[in-house]
Amino acid sequence: MRNLYLRVKIASQILGHDSLGEQNEGVKASLLIESLTGNTWRAAEMVAGNLQQEGWSITGLSPMRTPDHASIQDADVVLVGTWVHGAFIIGQAPWNIGAIRALPALRGKKAVTFCTYALNPGRTLGAMESAVAGLGADVIGGMALHRAKLGAHTEEFAARLVGVVTSV
Ligand X SMILES: Cc1cc2nc3c(=O)[nH]c(=O)nc-3n(C[C@H](O)[C@H](O)[C@H](O)COP(=O)(O)O)c2cc1C
Interface residue list for ligand X (CB under 6 A):
35-41, 83-88, 92, 116-121, 147
Q: Whose Cβ is closer to ligand X: residue 8's or residue 118's?
A: 118
Q: Shortest gap between Cβ of 128 and ligand X (angstroms)?
A: 13
- Measure the CA–CA gap between 56 and 162, rounded to whole angstroms: 9
Q: Shortest gap between Cβ of 122 and ligand X (angstroms)?
A: 7
Q: Shortest gap between Cβ of 97 and ligand X (angstroms)?
A: 14
Q: Whose Cβ is closer to ligand X: residue 28's or residue 85's?
A: 85
- Measure the CA–CA gap between 163 and 158, rounded to whole angstroms: 9
- Measure the CA–CA gap between 69 and 163, rounded to whole angstroms: 26
Q: Shortest gap between Cβ of 33 and ligand X (angstroms)?
A: 8
State the Cα angle at 23 between 116 and 3, rounded to 5°: 20
Q: Whose Cβ is closer to ligand X: residue 27's or residue 81's?
A: 81
**What's the DSSP call for residue 104?**
P
Q: Whose Cβ is closer to ligand X: residue 4's or residue 168's?
A: 4
Q: How far is CA 144 from CA 16, 75, 76, 141, in A?
A: 29, 22, 22, 11
